[in-house]
Chains A and B, each alone.
Chain A
C-alpha cells in the first residue's frame, strides 16, 4: 500500500523520520559533512527580536543574510507565521533555520487536523525545542539554529515568548528578547524603549528603533534600506491572529528617526 506507512502518531516531524527519511530534515547528517564545510560559506541570518506589548506580541527581523564577510541576500525572510496564533523568527544558519520553520508550520497544522484541536502555545514551543535538540550535532559544527518563538495564548489571553539555546533549552521571557549577531544591541535598545503597556503602534516604533540600533552597531544586520525599498518584517500577533506592519508605517517610523538625528538628536 503506497500511502500507508508505519508511523501512527500525530507528529509530522516524526512521520518524516520514520516513513520518509529521504524528506526528513536530518540535520545531524549535515553536521558530519559540515566538518569539511566552512561555516562562513553558508548564509547566516542575523538579528531578530520579539517583545510583549499591551495586546499581544510583536516579532521583527531584518532582511540581511551574510556568508562570512559577504552579503548572501539583502531580502531574506526570517520571520514566519507558523500557525494563526504563533510566529517564529530565526537566526543562525539560514538553510536549516528556514527548513525548521517550514517543518514546524506543517507540524502544527498536521497535529490540529489529526487530533481535531490545535496544540496549546506552550506545546508548540516545546515541539520546537525538540526539533532544535535534534539539530545539536549540526550546531556543534557551526550550523546552529537559534530561533525565537512567540504567540498569543488564546486560553490565557496574553502574548508569550520564548528563546532557545542550541541544545534545545527553552526559556520563557516575560518582556522581550533579541538574538543573532546584532541581538545584543537590539536588546540594549529595547531595554530603554520597552514598556509592558505599549500600544501596537508604539511597539512597532520601539522595534524599528531596536533594529536600527542593531544595524548601526553590527555590520551583519540590515536595518531599513530606503534606497532599495527593503524593510524589516514586523509581525504582530494578538487575539485576532496575525497582522503585518506595512512598509509605509515602517518607513514613516524610520523617517522620524532620521529627522530626529538631522535635528541633532540621537536614537
Chain B
C-alpha cells in the first residue's frame, strides 16, 4: 500500500480558497444597497439567466460565480424559507437564520468536499414597519468558504469587488431616494466592469425589495423601468 503524500490542512484550505476565488473573480459584480424605499439589487447581467431571485416575503438572494451552483443554492433557500413559513408563520422567516443556513451549507461543502462551491452570495432582507423589532434592513454576504458577514448600508460581490466597493464607500449615504441609489449602483458597477463600452439599462438586472408593498415585497424591474429609475422619474 502506498502512502499518500502528507499535505497540511493549511495548504488544503489555501488551495481550495485559491480555486474558488479564481472561479468567482471571472464573474461580473452585483451590488445591493439600502435606500429610502427598501433594498435595491443591481447586477451587470444582460442574459436571461437571473442572478437575483426572490426567496420569501422580505428576502432576496443574489449570487455570483458558477451559475448552476448558486442557482441550486437559491432553490435550497426557497425550500428552506417556504418550509419554515409553512411550519410556523410567514413572519418567522428571517434573514439571519436563512443567511446562517446558507453559511453552514457552503462551509460544509468547503471543508468536506474536494471541490468547494465557486460562488459568493448576498442575502438581503427589507424591514417591515408593522413590527418594532423587524424595522431594520439587513444585508449579509456569504463567501465560498461559508464566511458570513453583515453589511449596513451596502454590499458588493463578484469579480472586481474592490473597485465597486470604493465607489459605494465614497458616495453612499443613508436613506437616499431610489433613483439616486440606482445611479450610484450603476456607477459602482461601471467602475468594476472590464468592458470599454458603457453599461446601460439593457445590460442590467435590477430587483427591489419594496418596503411599501404588502406580502411579497420582491419585484423585478423591466429595462424600461430601470431606465425610468436612472432618469429619476
Contacts and interface: CB of A to CB of B under 8 A. Distances in A.
A1 B82 contact: no
Given A1-B108, A114-B75, A109 B101 contact: no
B82 to A, nearest CB: 5
Given A1-B104, A113-B55, A12 B80 contact: no
A20 B105 CA distance: 18
A2 interface: yes
Contacts of B77: 3
Interface in A105-125: 106, 109-110, 113-114, 116
B83 interface: yes
Chain B interface mostly: helix
A2 B83 contact: no
B83 A116 contact: no
B23 interface: no
Contacts of B80: 3
A109 B83 contact: no
A5 B82 contact: no
Contacts of A113: 53-55, 78, 82
B86 interface: yes
B128 to A, nearest CB: 18
Interface string B193-205: 0000000000000
Nearest to B77: A3
B22 interface: no
Contacts of A116: 50
B83 A20 contact: yes
B216 interface: yes
A15 interface: yes
Given A3-B76, A4-B76, A116-B50, A110 B104 contact: no
Contacts, number: 48
Contacts of A110: 78-79, 82
Nearest to A110: B82
Contacts of A109: 82, 216
B7 interface: no
B87 interface: yes
A113 B105 CA distance: 20
B85 interface: yes
Interface centre among B50, B75, B80, B83 (most CB of A within 10 A): B83
Contacts of B86: 12, 16, 23, 102-103, 106
Interface in A1-50: 1-5, 7, 12, 15-16, 19-20, 23
Interface in B68-109: 75-80, 82-83, 85-87, 101, 104-105, 108
A113 B55 CA distance: 7
B87 A23 contact: yes
Contacts of B85: 106
Given A12-B82, A23-B83, A23-B87, A3 B75 contact: no
Contacts of B55: 113
A3 B105 contact: yes
Contacts of A16: 83, 86
Contacts of A114: 75, 78
A3 B105 CA distance: 8
Interface of A: 1-5, 7, 12, 15-16, 19-20, 23, 102-103, 106, 109-110, 113-114, 116
Given A3-B77, A4-B76, A15-B83, 5 more contacts: A3-B80, A12-B86, A23-B83, A106-B86, A109-B216
- List the 7 closest pairs (A to B, CB-CB), nearest first: A3-B80, A3-B101, A113-B78, A110-B82, A1-B105, A113-B54, A23-B87
Interface of B: 50, 53-55, 75-80, 82-83, 85-87, 101, 104-105, 108, 216
